[in-house]
Amino acid sequence: MEFINEEKIEKVLNNPLNADPGYQLEVLEKSRSLQGLTIEETAALLNITDPEIEQVLFESALEVKEKIYGNRIVLFAPLYLTNHCVNNCLYCAFRKDNKALKRVTLSIKDVQSETFALLKQGHKRILLVCGEHPKEANLNFIGEVINTIYSTKIQKGEIRRINVNSAPMSVEDFRTLKSFGIGTYQSFQETYHFDTYTRMHPSGPKKDYAYRLYTMDRAMEAGIDDVGMGVLFGLYDYRWEILALLQHVEHLENRFNVGPHTISVPRLEPALNAPAAMNPPYAINDLEFKKLVAILRLAVPYTGIILSTRERPEMRRELIQLGVSQISAGSKTSPGGYGKQGCDDEPELDQFQVSDHRPLDEVIRDICQLGFMPSFCTACYRKGRTGEDFMHLAKPGDIKKICSPNALSSFKEYLLDFASNETKRVGLEAIERDLKNEPDGVQKTARKLMERVDQGERDVYF
């Protein structure tokens, strides 16, 4: 636990300088340089109360996001392998003691069906959510599932990147997981506050705070250099959690010279027989949530910020304009949810309550109308632009020179193969709008890639 310094966090949070509007504006000015922020500087932004300075915060977050990534929004869907679990987390419907939950583990045939359903929507990127159960989600089975997903194809669709959210593993097991051809490995600490963590995890392997805290170290030692972190906001004071998260980021950068590829920002939502989810100990209102997302964008500018369908469509629209760069769409939080038409009527299968039920096509149309560019690109991982190589491109904002044309070509592919007529119309207009705003070199590259897509090629990128 040595890199989570609770005493330092408390001291930084209580610094009177945090409330100084002049200092807050100085920090915001610095943030635009893409250097990131110290925990002391971040604490000042967490104490902004002046509406005018809040507006500067929000504008700065969008500016920084566009300097790094442009206006693209990456899309994915979670695929739940099982809701069996040996842990007893008080915020999760999958917890061991929830007798009302209907337990399901997908068979390989079920995995194929779920993959087909996602492919027919147009998805190219999946987050495989494995849970923690030694029998229902063992490593050999996970490998078979990953191979099944990658090998399941339709005429004009395939899954090109599988990110994995699974229980913490040993270094040796992480090496095996890497050999399956995964993208980013994702695991959340949930809360960095030790006493809160202990209360929220009364039994099961997840009760071991330190073992979970060092999950990313073991993954990186095993050669997985793209990792995704997150906090479940609402379990403890969000200001404290953000500073602890930044200590974790600093630890990874100091030890491996690589920070998190993504940071997720889930907020507690109701879940069946999960007491902490039904009555969040530190509920976060919408304004606080918007501020914490914007602050994370400024504090760790190179990271991808992931937003799930926990949030309402209206809130997702606002957060996309405050620094979010990846979103799930058309999501189901139960194993087998995509292949069943009536799954929304089966809350006894879900991990938590989803608030955005829109299909992928509608979400994509909405993104375009907001002035952003949907992306299904998976090129970086497949070209080896991961870990330090990715950081060298992302930190100065050079990654968007690669991401922009790849995003446009992958989106053109979606429009031709899967979009409704209205979404296709809106999407093609968005492509032309974006091309006009790109430098000549990016325009030229993007048009060449899209010409190949128009001629029938698929999965073109550079």
CA distances from 360 to 76, 122, 186, 327, 330 (A): 9, 8, 23, 11, 5
- Could you tell me which of 121, 122, 185, 111 has the C-alpha nearest to residue 150? 111
CA distance 149 to 111: 7
CA distance 109 to 112: 5
Beta carbons of 117 and 80 less than 8 angstroms apart: no
Q: Is the pLDDT of residue 45 over 60?
A: yes
CA distance 347 to 101: 8
Tens digits of residue pLDDT in 239-261: 999 999 999 999 999 999 999 99
Which class for 122: exposed (0-12), middle (13-18), buried (19 or more C-beta within 10 A)? Answer: buried
Total length of the chain: 462
Mean of all residue pLDDT scores within the chain: 95
Q: How does residue 1 score in pLDDT terms, banded at 50, 70 and 90?
A: low
Instruction: Say what percent of the chain tops pLDDT 70.
Output: 98
CB-side neighbour CA atoms (13 Å) of 446: 27
Tens digits of residue pLDDT in 362-412: 999 999 999 999 999 998 888 888 888 999 899 998 888 889 999 999 999
Instruction: Name residues whose C-beta falls within 8 Å of residue 462's C-beta, 6 or more positions apart in sequence.
Output: 379, 383, 402, 405, 406, 445, 449
DSSP codes, 244-281:
HHHHHHHHHHHHHS---SEEE--B----TT-HHHHS-T
Q: Is the pLDDT of residue 344 over 60?
A: no
- Could you tell me which of 163, 168, 167 has the C-alpha nearest to residue 185? 163
Residue 217 neighbours by CB distance under 10 Å: 16
What mean pLDDT do residues 333-340 have? Answer: 88
What integer pLDDT is reported at residue 315 of this predicted model? Answer: 97
Radius of gyration of the chain (CA): 21
Q: Extract the runs of DSSP E, i.e. beta strands, from 21-117.
A: 72-80
What integer pLDDT is reported at residue 342 of this predicted model? Answer: 40
DSSP codes, 367-399:
HHHTT-EEE---HHHHTT--HHHHHHHHTTTTH
- The model carries a pTM of 0.95
